[in-house]
Amino acid sequence: MNVFVQLVKMALPFKWWIILSALIGFCTVASGIGLMMTSAYIIAMAALQPSIAVLHVAIAGVRFFGISRGIFRYLERMVSHNTTLKLLSHYRVWFYEKLESFAELSGQRSGDLLNKIVNDIQTLEHFYVRVLYPPVVSVLIICVITLLMRSFSWVVALMLFVLMSLTAVGVPLLSLYKHRKINRNIVSLRSELSALTVENMQGMHELAVYGRIPEREQKIDKLSERLTSLQKKRTNIHALHHVVMNFFKSVTLLVILIITIPQVTNAGLSGVFLAVIVLGILAAFEAVAPLPSAAQHWEEINRAAQRLFDIAETSTSKQPTLHLPDFSEKPSLMCRHIHFTYPDGTTALKNFSLTVHYGEKIAIVGPTGSGKSTLIHLLLKFYQPDSGCISVGRQDLLEYPAYQCAEMFGVVPQHPYVFTGTIRDNLNLANPHAEEKEIRRACEKAGLYDFMQTLPGGPDTWIGEHGLRLSGGEKQRLALAQGFLRSTPFLVFDEPSAHLDAVNERHVFNEIYRLRKPFILITHRLIDLHRADRILVVRNGEIVERGTHDELLKNEFVYAKMWQNQQRQLIC
């Protein structure tokens, strides 16, 4: 769908505010025209020294138009800015809702997303005030000034209509042509600069360790210089358009004077009205003057809106909400013949089949990069399988929106994300309605409770930006506590002991195997796997072995070799 049409549709809920603002804007310019024309009439007529009674009406007009212009200008600013802020709030909520239900974010750079949320949406605020509003007002004013000039001379009216229309169309088209490439590059550079800055901030420690900070700073400087250069070019072109607009205004006045002066000479038109016509036309051009700027902003808005709509169009938010399976019937999770390849062409899973009956404890093991964690991406609908089917009970997982998948599968990731705030804030994300005793029990299971007791504020201690004040193991235990708090029917643990010491590792695995709900344990550390109901061994995206711990050891194949290697490492 056309970007302009989409933006107009999004603005429809505020159509009456927009119409009111446009009418007030029209009244503002119309009052300016009335003020200039009545003032011109008084000055020109006063030179003839008429009776004061002749000027009474014009004097009253000057007072009326002078006062009304100020009032209408104030109201126009108030209503238009109020409308703009309402639209901006609407855009932000709309995009956040799309983003929240958008599963496939793995290919997006966090800095680029930040740029979309902040700068691209901020750019849309100009759509109404600087793009949609000025052409409407200018069309109304051109029609009104043409009718006014018709009362003096139909030739003047016709010529003014033609010249103002050419100016209103020609100069903006020129502006659009000149700004198109520059605005497109500005939006792209701004996005790249934002993404690079965020990446540098997030990876500052690693860049410092490897001595790459100067190189990254140089790259940012180059992007900033290019962006500044383009912005200067845009400013210069904008100034040039003001010159072109003034030139067309002068040409219009010159043509009108050439037409009207002979009429004054032939007594077909009063000389007083010549001044009225000239100043009226000058005031009318106030409505046409913003149009080049409107064209300039449109190209930038079009580019920014297209980037936002590209995200929104691939969102899963349009999927209807379905009833979750009745878990009292203990439905099974089934993956049948799953094949999945990442966008870069890497095949992660091949003919992958798995059934998890309710209450079962399943372990998936294999070397790093064998495709184990890809299963989590598919369960949460971060990606969709190329072929095959994933279902819970009788319902295909693809029929559920992403947020409902998160209600079925609680995931404890290998690299947990910790939000800025307190430990309690992060725990509440897992279960906002959890009672204090539930939080304490989950923290005890994860081995986090004793650590919290050493903090000055306990669970209400500030843990820094993205949990900067926590170690890797503490973040891991926080993620485990979140997993134990989740009320989802299925749990998935992805390398839950990756950052834990031996004591905490043993304690965590004991708690995991005591769970009564079904879970999938993804790991390459073969610890306590004799307690799992089934073990799947994955290599190069394929399941090469299935069975219990004892059965797989007897096979003396991949699992047995992994077990033997791990035992040797423990002895060493």
| DSSP conformation class of 128 | I
How far apart are the C-alpha atoms of 519 and 489, rounded to whole Å?
9
CA-wise closest residue to 255 among 344, 350, 155, 325: 155
Residue type, 27: C
Q: SS3 letters for 105-117?
A: CCCCCHHHHHHHH
CA-wise closest residue to 285 among 146, 141, 169, 135: 141
pTM of the predicted model over 0.75: no
Q: How far is CA 66 from CA 23, 59, 413, in A?
A: 18, 10, 68
Question: Reduced to 3 states, what is the DSSP secondary structure of residue 515?
Answer: coil
Q: Which two tokens stand for residue 462?
A: 């500030």
Q: What distance separates the 2 farthest-apart alpha carbons in the chain?
A: 121
Mean pLDDT by 10 residues, the chain (572 residues): 79 87 90 91 85 82 91 91 86 78 55 64 78 87 90 87 89 79 76 78 78 86 89 83 86 89 80 87 88 79 78 57 69 89 84 88 85 85 87 83 82 87 90 89 90 87 84 90 90 87 87 89 85 90 89 86 79 60
Enumerate domains of the chain plus CATH numbers: 3-175+235-313 (1.20.1560.10), 327-571 (3.40.50.300)
Q: What is the pLDDT of residue 315?
A: 54
Q: What angle do CA 237, 238, 240 make, to 5 degrees?
A: 60
How far apart are the C-alpha atoms of 401 and 381, rounded to whole Å?
8
Q: What is the pLDDT of residue 316?
A: 45
CA terminus-to-terminus distance, the chain:
65
Q: How far is CA 345 from CA 349, 352, 366, in A?
A: 12, 18, 21
Q: What is the pLDDT of residue 394?
A: 80
